[in-house]
Amino acid sequence: MRWHEIKKYTNKKIERSLRIAELDETYLPRASGLKYYPLAVAKAKGSRVWDADGNEYIDFLTSAAVYNIGHGHPKVLRAINDQLTKFLNYTVAYFYEEPAVKLAEKLTKITPGEFEKKVTFGFSGSDSVDSSIKIARAYTKRRHILSFKGSYHGMTYGALSATGIIDAETKEAIFPIGNVHFVEYPDPYRNPWGVGGYENPSELSNRALEEVERKVRELHGNVAGIIIEPIQGDAGVIIPPKEFIKGLRELTEEYGIVFIDEEVQTGMGRTGKWWGIEHFSAIPDVMVSAKALGGGMPISAVIGRAEIMDSVPVPLLVFTHLGHAVSASAAIATIEAIKEEKLVENAKKLGDFVMKRFREMQENYNIIGDVRGKGLLIGVDIVKDQKSKAPDKATALKISWRAWEKGLILITFGKYGNVLRIAPPLNISEEDLEEGLNIIEESIKDVLAGKVPDEVVNFMKGW
């Protein structure tokens, strides 16, 4: 990419960030990123980020919903430093260490279900999704996995194979694992049945459940697990009807299928509850957590019914750095910080405020087609016009570009790449939240007034 050409389209001071972007392009493969604009992070604290050129930003992305407790939380930093003075890690494949088991105990207590649970660990949502697939197959002795169109579960082999938002042709380049099948997720705003899901949630749920059951029968009941995001994240914050999740849980019980609840993005208080599934009053068999779990340190977890977790033959859940002591210590501190600061409740309160503000914008700007969210996991669907609902990716990207110029980290995602992704820290100040929302509204006005050149889209990869 001709990075120097960006300067034609912005007055922002970005020389150092551009040099880092050029090095990134030289030494990192294209497939390792979906970059939006030349922001090279140099420092972060709380809900603020500074780039290599000294520009300051309010963070509405939090490194893809990782920093639920903000950047550099003092409690997490203390836990990391305390552990560093003892030892970095020693493999629990052969011996024992306290941080991993202490974290496992905490996770069994804050996850849904009054039954005996066990926990295994990984490093990212992707590898823990892989582990959940292993677990479901080992327990049921069945082969097939059901997933949903529009889903995002990660980029390791099993997770990518179960991801529905990446087209099949792209995935075929690396020969994904077989026996994974996709069914429709009940999107109330846009769905293949033409059902108005907000007005008729029961009809939408029934259509989707019929498709799931039809697929189970086609596979002669040989289905090990169904993996689902209780709210689809990267698809654009798609919230299914409550009846659907309840019906899906009943269906899995009827057919003896492991219900895998993938909470990588929706967990750790993000939606105004500890876990997204709690909005739907369903108890999963197995749950996957990552992203925000480590407070910024890489760690993931699979929490499940003890008898299901213990069905996996030794040593098929072993990693050398399983339950890494430093990351586990950070995760323990993260859980404690969320509890002590009442961030689950704060996410709901602030989320209600943000949703109200965006719904007011929706009344004033015809390009806002839908506003969806729980807590501080919110998607703003940008369209050509509200009547047609036609996705407008270019306009969404231009809004994000303008927001960056004005000092807000904002990106897009979604099945059509047209949804503004709103995921600030759960402890963001009301002042920063208000300022960020003002920047978004100003950016919308500037785009509609033709103040953002169409050419900037050429520099933005994005979803």
Q: Rg of the Cα trace of the chain?
A: 22
Displacement of CA 108 from its chain's centroid (Å):
21
pLDDT confidence of residue 362: 98
Is 304 exposed, middle or buried, given 0-12, 13-18 or 19+ CB atoms closer than 10 A? buried
Scan for tokens 């407008």, then name that residue. 392
Q: 206 falls in which pLDDT band (50, 70, 90)?
A: very high
Mean pLDDT of 189-195: 97
Q: In this structure, which amino acid lies at residue 436?
A: G
**What does the pLDDT look like over 348-372, one tens digit per residue?**
999 999 999 999 999 999 999 999 9
pLDDT confidence of residue 453: 96
- Spatial separation of the C-alpha atoms in residues 437 and 399, rounded to whole Å: 12
Would you say residue 4 has pLDDT above 90?
no
**What does the pLDDT look like over 374-422, one tens digit per residue?**
999 999 999 999 999 999 999 999 999 999 999 999 999 999 999 999 9
pLDDT confidence of residue 463: 84
- Spatial separation of the C-alpha atoms in residues 444 and 439, rounded to whole Å: 9
pLDDT confidence of residue 390: 98
- Spatial separation of the C-alpha atoms in residues 445 and 440, rounded to whole Å: 9
Would you say how long the chain is, in residues? 463
Q: 17 falls in which pLDDT band (50, 70, 90)?
A: very high
- Token readout for 304 is 């499940």
Mean pLDDT of 125-142: 98
What φ, ψ does residue 264 adopt, rounded to 5°?
Answer: -60, -45
User: Residue 448 to residues 357, 404, 431: CA-CA distances in angstroms?
Assistant: 19, 17, 26
User: Residue 35 to residues 39, 292, 430: CA-CA distances in angstroms?
Assistant: 9, 21, 28
Is 80:297 a contact under the CB 8 Å cutoff? yes
pLDDT confidence of residue 417: 97
Q: What percent of the chain has pLDDT over 90?
A: 98
- Token readout for 227 is 């993996």
- Spatial separation of the C-alpha atoms in residues 98 and 220, rounded to whole Å: 44
Q: 462 falls in which pLDDT band (50, 70, 90)?
A: confident
Mean pLDDT of 31-42: 95
Q: 152 falls in which pLDDT band (50, 70, 90)?
A: very high
**What does the pLDDT look like over 236-294, one tens digit per residue?**
999 999 999 999 999 999 999 999 999 999 999 999 999 999 999 999 999 999 999 99
Mean pLDDT rounded to a whole number for the chain: 97
Mean pLDDT of 169-196: 96
SS (H, E, C) 151-195: CCCCCCHHHHHCCCCCCHHHHHHHCCCCCEEEECCCCCCCCCCCC
Strands (DSSP E) along 202-322, which ranges? 223-228, 258-262, 286-289, 300-305
Is 292:270 a contact under the CB 8 Å cutoff? yes
Helix axes 393-406, 430-448, angle to 10 degrees: 130
126, HSE (Cβ side, Cα atoms, 13 Å): 9
- Spatial separation of the C-alpha atoms in residues 335 and 328, rounded to whole Å: 11
pLDDT confidence of residue 2: 77
* pTM reported for the whole predicted model: 0.97
Pairing of strands 300-305, 286-289: antiparallel
